[in-house]
Amino acid sequence: MNFIDRLKASADRFKSIVCLGLDPVLEDIPLEGSAGVKIYSFYESILNRMIQTGTTPSAVKPNYAFYAQYGIEGLETLIKIISIFQKEGLPVIFDAKRGDIDKTAKAYAREAFEVFKADAVTLSPYLGLDSVAPFMDGYPDRGWYILTKTSNKSSADLQDIDAGGVPVFMKVAEKIISWYRPGIGSVAGATYPEELSRILGQFRASGKEVPLLIPGVGTQGGDLEKVVRILKSSGDVRIHRINSSSAINYAYKKNRSMHFADAAVLALKDLNTQIGF
């Protein structure tokens, strides 16, 4: 089963196209202990409550930096967290945004897929094909999400530059098609729905199945309704994932009377309902 098949299977199984970002902020975790203990207990509690209630995402996305900032303890905790979510059948997208020359890329690919045992990884295309190919050629059953039009405010600084009549982000979309293997995907932010629609239209016109990872809903202010409408007009929505991180992780902050895990489950349930998959 390749990565696209796993995306479809998890969407069917969990009745969701939500990707839950696992981005720990120690100051917002209402638990005691060392960094590793707090982070692991926090996400284990949320996962257990999700399983108990039958309300789950259909992928998770830990961001490497949120763990690496705590050194070896943080990275060891990341490995444990990836393991417990994978045991429940949830694909894990390793958000590391790697991009380097081919020899270094091979080392990064080994890190992502053999050390952390991720199902997919986010990648920068800035160095071209030889920085991406080691991930695809060395691990053909995994997924590789290429940064295309990111959700941050200054993404336009480079991604919107005119490149022969089209913006750079559309040139990246063209490259994704030319580099195509089953499992290659695209990161396109919910904060730019018109650009997301252009990117998705390019992929659809190519006849290739290119899964989108869509950050930016929730605290970043992405228009969920527009995103859902765009996805539902584009074919099989099961291959795409709408990411939400802090709005679910720290939902308890809006209702301090709730246990953090209960609040997270409620926020996830609401997001699943709004998407209407």
pLDDT at 219 over 70: no
Q: Give SS3 for 18.
A: strand
Beta strand spans in the chain (E): 18-22, 59-62, 93-98, 120-123, 143-149, 184-188, 212-214, 241-244
Length reported for the chain: 277
Please state, for a pLDDT cut of 90, what percent of the chain lies above it: 94
Cross-strand bridge partners of residue 147: 187
Give the predicted TM-score (pTM) of the model.
0.96
Q: Which active-site residues does the annotation give?
A: 97
Among 84, 67, 93, which residue's Cα sits nearest to residue 6? 93
Name the region of 210 (left: φ>0; alpha: ψ -120 to 50; beta: rest): beta
**Separation in Å, CA 109 to CA 49, 71, 104, 140:** 33, 20, 9, 11
| Arithmetic mean of pLDDT, 131-160 | 96
pLDDT at 171 over 70: yes
- Between CA 22 and CA 272 the distance in angstroms is 17
Confidence (pLDDT) at 216: 87
Domain range for 162: 3-275
- Between CA 165 and CA 159 the distance in angstroms is 13
Segment 73-110, tens digit of pLDDT: 999 999 999 999 999 999 999 999 999 999 999 999 99
- Between CA 109 and CA 235 the distance in angstroms is 31
- Domain CATH number, residue 18: 3.20.20.70
| Arithmetic mean of pLDDT, 221-250 | 92
pLDDT band of 217, cuts 50, 70, 90: confident
Distance of CA 222 to the CA centre of its chain: 15
What is the domain count for the chain?
A: 1
- Between CA 174 and CA 168 the distance in angstroms is 10
**Separation in Å, CA 90 to CA 16, 70, 192:** 11, 25, 27
